Amino acid sequence: MARSIGILGTGKAVPKKAFKNDDFVKHGLDTSDEWIMDRTGIRQRYIVEDETTSSLCIEAAEHAIKSAGIDRDTIDAVIVATTTPDYPVFPSVACLVQAGLGLREVAAFDLSAACSGFIYATEVATQMLKGGHYRHILVLGADTLSRVCDWRDRSTVVLFGDGAGAVILGDVKKGYGVLSTKLGSRGKDFDKLIIPIGGTKTPITAENVDSPDRYLKMDGKAVYKFAVNIIVGIIEEALTLAHLKKEDITFFVPHQANKRIIEYAREKLGLSVDQVYVNIDRYGNTSAASIPIALSEANDKGLLKSGDVVVTVGFGAGLTYGTSIIKWA
Ligand code: UT7
């Protein structure tokens, strides 16, 4: 009989240093708290100093293991969704997490799908678990985009924050857990959100080392349009796969990229303000970490009840997108 796979525990971690909108002004950037709040809903974000993507993952994972109440020796795989690993090519963050948590020598790998990464990783883990050979899988979404932003570029650096979110996936009651998932990509728009230099296509050289192309570049308007165009349609497709309708949604946990995008989706889905989790004001856009951080906070606050239909949705570089319909166990 097919296993029902769901979230058994959640955790999160952010760096110690909070960075407020006005701190950018103090750093000499031509911006304002008013512009950032008004256009994005962000008030502050957390920025790494001595922390790394892997150290945030390890802290978030410890919380998730505790929250799930499982023995760490029953974790049979680690998947980290990230595009900002500690090291440029290898080793993976997942291997550092496996060692840092003192896990057995289990499968460990990173997955690259930018801000949609957590939903991709959850789907991979769910299918691995349904295959029957794994007991629990630790799934993390983690990014430290402050390290790859151009701190001279007000149009991008103010948007992002650092953090990690973790879940433990495993068996739940029959009919509960991940009911359906819809993933997609639009690679023709790869250049809408990109770090042009520093990969194997254009390695860093003495000539280009100071180029702004070494950092994250985004066509904000194009990504915004992409997000509002796809979100509702993919959620409706996933709901249909799960034999549900918009009216069945209890709680919405969207990727936290812009409060205006979240508000647009909320209205189109016919949800009340109370049915949507929003924490972009405190964390900014933490990329792959935003959905599991939000899930962890909502779970800690007791906002997620058994039987609730929880909808997650993500979108970002690639371009990629994804949504999961979860019946909270
Ligand atoms: O997680 C990955 C997915 N990413 C996203 O979903 C991001 C989607 N995009 C967005 O959220 C929005 O497009 C942004 C928040 C990035 C930008 O908002 P916008 O309303 O599209 O603003 P804009 O880019 O059209 O800029 C409007 C004005 C421009 O000035 P002019 O040309 O009208 O004189 C910008 O130069 O605002 C200016 N501007 C700023 N002003 C003060 C841009 N950034 C800033 C800033 N402070 N930080």
CATH number where 302 lies = 3.40.47.10
Atom of ligand 1 nearest to the CA of 287: 1
pLDDT digit string (tens) for 189-225? 999 999 999 999 999 999 999 999 999 999 999 999 9
Residues 154 and 283 in one domain: no
Ligand 1 atom with minimal separation from the 258 CA: 11
What is the whole-number distance in angstroms between the Cα of residue 154 and the centre of ligand 1? 9
Residue nearest to atom 36 of ligand 1 (CA): 155
User: In terms of domains, do 184 and 208 share one?
Assistant: yes
In which band, very low, low, confident or very high, does the pLDDT at 100 lie, cut at 50, 70 and 90?
very high
Degrees, nearest 5: CA angle 167-173-175: 100
- How much distance in Å is there from the Cα of 262 to the middle of ligand 1? 16
Residues annotated as catalytic are 115, 255, 285
Distance (angstroms) between ligand 1 centre and the Cα of 90 equals 34
Ligand 1, residues 33, 34, 39, 158: which to mutate, most atoms within 8 A of Cβ?
A: 39
Same domain, 322 and 279: yes
Report the distance separating Cα 288 and Cα 166, nearest Å: 11
Asked which of 174, 195, 210 is the last residue of a domain, the reply is: 174
Give residue 47's pLDDT band: very low, low, confident or very high (50, 70, 90). Answer: very high
Q: Work out the pLDDT band at 68, boundaries 50, 70, 90.
A: very high
Other beta carbons within 10 angstroms of residue 115's beta carbon come to 33
Residue 179 Cα to ligand 1 midpoint, Å, equals 36
HSE of 268, CA atoms in CB hemisphere, 13 A: 15
**Residues 135, 209 within the same domain:** no
pLDDT in tens, 152-179: 999 999 999 999 999 999 999 999 999 9
The CA distance from 74 to 216, in Å, is: 38
Pair (160, 261) in one structural domain: no
In tens, the pLDDT along 227-269 reads 999 999 999 999 999 999 999 999 999 999 999 999 999 999 9
Do 170 and 222 lie in a common domain?
Answer: no
Q: CB–CB of 137/169 below 8 Å?
A: yes
Confidence bin at 150 (pLDDT 50/70/90)? very high
- Please identify, by atom number, the ligand 1 atom nearest to the C-alpha of residue 40: 15
The average pLDDT across 9-31 equals: 97
The residue out of 149, 174, 199 marking a domain boundary is 174
Closest CA to 111 of 144, 76, 89, 83: 83
Give the residue whose CA is nearest to atom 42 of ligand 1: 31
Q: Is-contact 327 176, C-beta < 8 A?
A: yes
Q: In this predicted structure, what is the pLDDT of residue 169?
A: 98
Backbone angles phi, psi at 75, to 5 degrees: -80, 120
Residues with CB under 6 A from ligand 1: 31, 35-36, 39-40, 115, 154-155, 158-159, 220-221, 223-224, 227, 257-258, 285, 316
Number of structural domains in the chain: 2
Its pTM surpasses 0.95:
yes
Domain closes at, from 140, 174, 208: 174
Q: What is the pLDDT of residue 170?
A: 98
220 C-alpha vs ligand 1 centroid, how far in Å?
6
- Protein residue closest via CA to atom 28 of ligand 1: 155
| One domain, residues 141 and 205 | no
Among candidate residues 247, 123, 248, the one with its CA nearest the CA of residue 178: 123
Residue 6 has pLDDT above 80, yes or no: yes
Q: Are residues 68 and 195 in the same domain?
A: no
Q: How far apart are CA 159 and CA 193, in angstroms?
A: 13
CA 194 to centroid of ligand 1, rounded, Å: 16
- Residues 186, 81 share a domain: no
Same domain? 112 vs 234: no
If one residue of 30, 155, 255 were mutated to test the ligand 1 pocket, choosing by the most ligand atoms within 8 A of its CB, it would be 155
Nearest CA to ligand 1 atom 18: 39
User: Per-residue pLDDT for 1 more than 80?
Assistant: no
Atom of ligand 1 nearest to the CA of 160: 1
Q: What are phi and psi of 259, to 5 degrees?
A: -65, -25
Domain span at 114:
5-174
- Judge if 280 and 162 occupy the same domain: no
What pLDDT shows up at residue 96? 98
Q: What is the CA radius of gyration of the chain?
A: 19
Q: How far is the CA of 43 from the centre of ligand 1 (A)?
A: 15
- Residue nearest to ligand 1 atom 26, measured at CA: 155
**Same domain, yes or no: 30 and 169:** yes
